[in-house]
Chain A
Amino acid sequence: MANPSTSKEVAATQPVTAMSVIAPAIGWLIPGAGHLIQKRWVRGLLLMGSIVIMFLIGLAMQGRVYRPNGGDILDILGFVGDVGAGGLYIVTRAMDLGQGAVAHATADYGTKYIIVAGLLNFISAADAYHIAIGKKP
């Protein structure tokens, strides 16, 4: 049986560095940038390419970008996914894109592409944090 104090001790021994705060933050704002500023060039570029292209394909498929005050619980969950894309979401909202087109059968795929791109960026930002604290090479 695991010692319940072990995880707290491990967390206490890991120092909070500037990089451990900046890397996930910038990784959220610009997908892949959290890896790039830690000189993980290939990983960063692959993450950036995958997430940005996925988000843009979603927009090109007339996917819908959720607003923060959707009201419906599913809209709120959609917003949480979308906001994971960070800067992409902010720019999209600023340009008033992502209105969604009900007429297109593939528009629903586009909506899912946009949500998943945001969720994948959350994972990417968490990975950048793990690299920053030395948990991952």
Chain B
Amino acid sequence: MNLQLSHFSSAVLFGLFASVVFGITQRSTSREQIRYGLYCFAMFVGGVFVAGWAMWLLRR
């Protein structure tokens, strides 16, 4: 099997799985875990966009 994902979908999937684990392991209550997981996911996806625009600016 050969899975070919784009850069963006690879980064989003990576952020999704890592956020689930971070949320569960780094906070105690269910509410805090969900909030922290969503925060991590937003940071991952936000970081992808920031890095993307930074590389676009560097390329110009």
Contacts and interface: CB of A to CB of B under 8 A. Distances in A.
B24 A137 contact: no
Contacts of A61: 2-5, 10
Contact of A47 (B4, B14, B24): B24
- Classify the secondary structure of A's interface with B: helix
Contacts of B10: 61, 106, 109, 113
A43 B37 CA distance: 12
Nearest to B19: A50
- B interface majority secondary structure: helix
B14 A116 contact: yes
Contact of B2 (A50, A104, A109): A104
Interface residues of A, number: 28
B20 interface: yes
Interface in B3-19: 3-5, 7, 10, 13-14, 16-18
A136 to B, nearest CB: 6
B17 A51 contact: yes
A137 B28 contact: yes
Interface of B: 1-5, 7, 10, 13-14, 16-18, 20-22, 24-25, 28-29
Interface of A: 43, 46-47, 49-51, 53-54, 57, 60-62, 101, 104, 106, 109-110, 112-113, 116-117, 120, 123-124, 126-127, 136-137
24 contacts: A43-B24, A46-B24, A47-B21, A47-B24, A50-B18, A50-B20, A51-B21, A53-B17, A54-B13, A57-B3, A60-B1, A60-B2, A60-B3, A104-B2, A104-B4, A106-B3, A106-B5, A109-B10, A110-B3, A113-B10, A113-B14, A123-B25, A126-B25, A137-B28
